[in-house]
Structure 1
């Protein structure tokens, strides 16, 4: 039986904030990601080389070997992007029943990738959007940003982009960029209202297409991938923006420090 796929419901760049407010999610084509972020598409594509050397994720609790990743954290305010010292990724069990409640120390993103102007432009654009959609009269606010590079491969026959299932992340904004998709089937994106029946399913297939989510309103997942040819894989960049602090045991201290630092 042939695989049935549904195209993404793309939004124009000038309508992203309104779409997020109205429906809780928005999807941009690669060309429109370039317009929206102010990056040339060629510069975004140049970032993708880093995904070929991601180290294994040693924290998978389902016994799989299909996920590779790197992680980095930043603070962004008024377009000023500052990388913070490397820290563990932490989520409460409320949001991640499989891997929540534990500190996961992933390999850091490489300095060469973080130094690229396109990288800074992407994070700044996400912070501007977060100000517009979530901060209201308080904008601009300080955004605590986590970035995750993922490669899901099919070495063992199946790869799970979201082994925790349909979930939220405990942040304000979730951005999922498709970086590459080679020799696989599956990988359908599904978004649902957290407090309602409405949902949407579609497949991101073009490198640097982007899905944006209001995390408080939407639950999301991606279905498993299977190989069409040996060595098939799916690469993504997931970036989250959160007000107040990073998630973790030291979140209160971070929030207090941020408030002191921004007090006139």
Structure 2
């Protein structure tokens, strides 16, 4: 296990090769901007959306620490289409805590999904999936998360170390405030090797080959007792063949 907590950043031009070789890759914010061909400010314009996330009403552990929105898209041949709003569903094999149930989360804001930076981010994520699995139609689910410490502790991954049952997972850190914890852990699905590091800079982006690695983020706690704290992320998943639950 790597004892360093700084992410092992990958140059954008080595992203596809690193994903194939290691099963995951991390871009720093400047690398993300270069990879997308956009000024970082265009991505930062999306961040205000995380201030308006409604509560997740499906947490089986009884927690009230998670807020989220959800949207689905398909892309093929460079075209991106938003799918009709639908439930998020996973089998219990991939999510023992919340699998096997339809979870209807609030939809993403229309003005957000219409932004050019948003569309560019999804299309480039689908390109990364195609570099692993070949060109085809991709089914993309987008999840906006805020995990807070209002109850003293927040769990970014209450289901524990897991795979998502897709081809590619992309996790972007949108921001973190007043917290400790939230360490990212990535392990080989069929092996003993693992890495641990902490995403700290907004718009750091981690991409994972979901067939090769499992991942989790450790709980967060406030830096000062009773003080507000939160961790905002965007999770994108690309899956071939259809949305889970179809």
Confirm or deny: 8 A CA contact 1:192 1:220 kept in the other structure: yes
The secondary structure found in structure 2 opposite 1:108 is: coil
Distance 1:5 1:151, change over 3 A: farther
**C-alpha root-mean-square deviation of aligned residues, in Å?**
0.9
TM-superposed CA distance for 1:5, in Å, is: 6.5
Query: Which consecutive aligned stretches of 4+ in structure 1 deviate over 6 angstroms post-superposition?
Result: none
Within the candidate set 139, 158, 165, 2:160 is matched to 165
- Per the alignment, residue 116 of structure 1 pairs with 115
Unaligned runs of 5+ in 2: none
- Per the alignment, residue 258 of structure 1 pairs with none
Larger Rg: 1
Deviations 1:146-193 (A, max 9, x none): 000000000000000000000000000000000011110000000000
Deviations 1:205-247 (A, max 9, x none): 0000011000011000000000014111000000000000000
Q: Give distance in 2, aligned partners of 1:238 and 1:83.
A: 16
With 193-202 and 224-233 compared, the bigger mean Cα shift is at: 224-233
- Per the alignment, residue 182 of structure 1 pairs with 177
Confirm or deny: 8 A CA contact 1:79 1:127 kept in the other structure: no
Deviations 1:45-97 (A, max 9, x none): 11000000100000000000000000000001122110010000000000000
Q: 1:129 aligned to 2:124?
A: no
How many pairs does the alignment contain? 242
Q: 1:151 aligned to 2:150?
A: no
- Per the alignment, residue 21 of structure 1 pairs with 20
Q: 1:86 aligned to 2:81?
A: no
TM-superposed CA distance for 1:39, in Å, is: 2.1
Q: Give distance in 2, aligned partners of 1:11 and 1:79.
A: 25
The secondary structure found in structure 2 opposite 1:101 is: coil
- Per the alignment, residue 12 of structure 1 pairs with 11
TM-score, with structure 2 as normaliser: 0.97
Q: Give distance in 1, aligned partners of 2:219 and 2:38.
A: 31
- Per the alignment, residue 73 of structure 2 pairs with 74
Higher helix proportion, which one?
A: 1
